[in-house]
Amino acid sequence: MVRRFTLTEHITQQQREYPDATGDFTGLLSDIAVASKIIAHDVRRAGIGGVLGAAGSKNVSGDEVKRLDVLSNEVFINVLERSGHLCLMASEENEHPISIPADFPRGKYVFLFDPLDGSSNIDGNVSVGSIFSIFRRLSPPGEEGIDDLLQPGYNQVCAGYVLYGSSTMFVYTTGFGTHGFTLDPTVGEFILSHENIRTPQKGRIFSVNEGNFRRWNGRMRRFVEYLKEPAGEGRPYTGRYIGSLVADFHRNLLYGGIFLYPEDEVHPSGKLRLLYEAAPIAFLAEQAGGMATTGKMPVREVEPTRLHMKVPLIVGSAEDVRLCLRFLRGEKIEPDRPG
Contact residues for ligand P6P (CB under 6 A)? 117-118, 120, 209, 243-245, 271
Q: Please identify, using beta-carbon distances, which residue of 102 and 266 lies nearer to ligand P6P.
A: 266
Q: Please identify, using beta-carbon distances, which residue of 124 and 142 lies nearer to ligand P6P.
A: 124
d(CA 64, CA 62): 6
Closest CA to 160 of 168, 170, 172, 169: 172
Q: Please identify, using beta-carbon distances, which residue of 10 and 251 lies nearer to ligand P6P.
A: 251
Sign for the CA dihedral angle at 111, 248, 308, 101 comes to negative
Question: By the 8 A CB rule, do 243 and 126 touch?
Answer: yes
Question: By the 8 A CB rule, do 136 and 87 touch?
Answer: no
d(CA 111, CA 54): 26
Q: Please identify, using beta-carbon distances, which residue of 226 and 261 lies nearer to ligand P6P.
A: 261
d(CA 71, CA 144): 26
Gyration radius of the chain over CA positions = 20
Closest CA to 156 of 132, 180, 178, 139: 132
d(CA 339, CA 324): 9
d(CA 68, CA 122): 8
d(CA 92, CA 58): 11
Q: Please identify, using beta-carbon distances, which residue of 117 and 319 lies nearer to ligand P6P.
A: 117
Minimum CB distance to ligand P6P, residue 120 (Å): 5
d(CA 158, CA 136): 10
Q: Please give the positions annotated as active site.
A: 63, 69, 92-93, 114, 116-117, 277
d(CA 150, CA 148): 6
